[in-house]
Structure 1
């Protein structure tokens, strides 16, 4: 298989190395939901090259090691949905495009029966808007907040509306508890973390803009304070 100069060969036995700087550690490779995602390996390398990014630069922005990203590009590992979101933002595209979903026409109606749930890291996602658009709309089941939750920072805006349960939203140094019927609308460059306040989880509508910026940085790492 062809490799670009300076890129590591995809050795499945080689351990992942932590990326420098504040990036989060690699997600677990044992994610049971990854196997149900389509093979995105053929798209990942081409998108990175078209963006003019080296393997090392793209991996650092996504919070991965170069070895881990190389395995994704060669199909030795399948990405989880949060990882796809990170890569889509970095490459200036959408998750739908990464998955090879190119609709023949834009249907303005999203029927309930057409949306299959996708699970990743305890979160359950249902598409609530049209595919391939800059404005992404989802119905989300949010798990109970834990220390493993990631603080996210990226260009764009986010809006959420609580349908059921309580949501604990951290925005910078402030922590807000939202009840059913409450909403929040904020700049995604504000460090933020979302989790359910109760162990039963919470249901919410979630809308975000996909700003096409190669400088998108998603994760601040494990050193961020835990939501309480």
Structure 2
């Protein structure tokens, strides 16, 4: 239950001169449910909040707070931003605020299945170090000319000066956590 969320909904609703009944009719949610939500007595699914946001003409992000404590930033899962789409088989999501994370870059990477597995994956190098942790699927990792298959829970840490690359030769999505030093996406 989130009282802050309820206060935001009620404040926005009343600023638009909507009654509980008006919002209920426009969202197909019961008056009782909206009342409980505004008082912080119940929680709401993202789809419900998205419905309320559309009716109240705000972006869904309006309902979520970014908390700061001691110059650290909490990035909520719904705040992750796509920072890079490569090849278009690799989708990088930033897991840290760029302004506050200067020494390393953590990212969640979704690797879509490679359509043509016969296409050569060329290793490359860059400055810094790289850590990879497989969350889901089977990641094919190339270190120089050597191929390694990494499974969920497997990890690898290398000097990024070593020629390397990775890809997804399966038919399912691969998700990895990668942390790089001296390399921004």
**Unmatched 5+ stretches in structure 1:** 1-104, 213-228
In 2, Cα distance between equivalents of 1:207 and 1:188: 11
Structure whose residues are more often helix by fraction = 2
Q: Choose the corresponding residue for 1:141, options 104, 110, 127.
A: 110
Distance 2:121 2:140 in 1: 12
Q: Is the 8 A contact 1:117 1:126 kept in 2?
A: yes
Deviations along 1:8-65, whole A, 9 cap, x unmatched?
Answer: xxxxxxxxxxxxxxxxxxxxxxxxxxxxxxxxxxxxxxxxxxxxxxxxxxxxxxxxxx
2:171 corresponds to = 199
Instruction: Pick one of 63, 71, 75 that aligns with 1:110.
Output: 75
Partner of 1:100: none
Instruction: State the TM-score, normalized to the length of structure 1.
Output: 0.43
Task: Tell me which structure has the larger Cα radius of gyration.
Answer: 2
State the secondary structure of the residue aligned to 2:156.
strand
| Structure 1 Cα separation of the partners of residues 163 and 127 of structure 2 | 11
Q: How far did 1:148 drift?
A: 5.9
Distance in 2 of aligned mates of 1:186 and 1:144: 24
Confirm whether residue 173 of structure 1 aligns to residue 145 of structure 2.
Answer: yes
Deviations 1:124-183 (A, max 9, x none): 111112313220000000133552644211121100110110000011132110001100
> Which is bigger in relative contact order (C-alpha 8 A, separation at least 6)?
1
Residue 125 (str. 1) matches residue 92 (str. 2): yes
Give the alignment's Cα RMSD to 1 decimal: 2.3
Whether 1:161 and 2:161 are equivalent positions in the alignment is: no
Aligned 1:12-23 pairs, distance under 5 A: none
Q: Corresponding residue for 2:154?
A: 182
Partner residue of 1:45? none
1:72 corresponds to which residue? none
Q: Where do 5+ consecutive residues of structure 2 fail to align?
A: 1-69
* Ranges of 4+ aligned residues in structure 1 off by more than 4 Å: none
With over 3 angstroms needed to count, the CA separation of the structure-2 counterparts of 1:180 and 1:211, relative to structure 1, is closer
Corresponding residue of 1:152? 124
Between Structure 1 and Structure 2, the one with more strand by share is 2
Could you tell me how far apart the structure 2 residues matched to 1:209 and 1:150 are?
A: 21
d(CA) in 2 for partners of 1:149, 1:195: 8
